[in-house]
């Protein structure tokens, strides 16, 4: 599932990455693997934020029923920006929790993009 030909968003890959962290049987991850996942998720957020902002600014056909999905997308963008600004605390447990928070933000942004018609199966 990708957004469109000109978009850098690969929703399938992003969802697969987040699923690794959010699965009930996830982890434990090595410090190196956790660092890689965290950097990857940060990159996903940096790609998704402008895509979701653009989709929220131009809902499909300016449909008034899109008010709730637009509001949810705007909140998801704000949350993702806050999470990108949070400094990583030391320790494996804190690093794992931080990566899971980023993964949940990626999922929320993807859901917001899909609900606004930005992602297509």
Residues 4-13: pLDDT tens digits? 445 678 899 9
**Which residue carries 């934020």 as its tokens?**
49
d(CA 18, CA 15): 5
Residues 34-76: pLDDT tens digits? 999 999 999 999 999 999 999 888 876 666 767 888 889 999 9
In a domain, 101, yes or no: yes
d(CA 66, CA 44): 25
> 59 φ, ψ to 5°?
-60, 155
Tell me the whole-structure pTM to 2 decimals.
Answer: 0.85
In a domain, 95, yes or no: yes
In a domain, 91, yes or no: yes
Domain residues for 88?
Answer: 11-115
- Residue 23 DSSP code: S
Count up the domains in the chain and report the number: 1
In a domain, 83, yes or no: yes
């Amino acid at each position: 599932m990708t957004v469109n030909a000109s978009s850098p968003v690969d929703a399938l890959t992003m969802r697969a990455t987040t699923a690794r962290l959010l699965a009930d049987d996830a982890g434990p991850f090595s410090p190196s693997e956790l660092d890689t996942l965290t950097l990857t998720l940060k990159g996903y957020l940096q790609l998704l934020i402008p895509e979701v902002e653009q989709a929220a600014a131009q809902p499909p056909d300016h449909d008034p029923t899109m008010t709730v999905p637009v509001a949810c997308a705007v909140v998801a963008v704000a949350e993702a920006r806050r999470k990108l600004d949070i400094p990583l605390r030391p320790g494996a447990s804190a690093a794992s929790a931080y990566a899971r928070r980023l993964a949940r933000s990626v999922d929320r942004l993807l859901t917001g993009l899909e609900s606004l018609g930005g992602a297509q199966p």
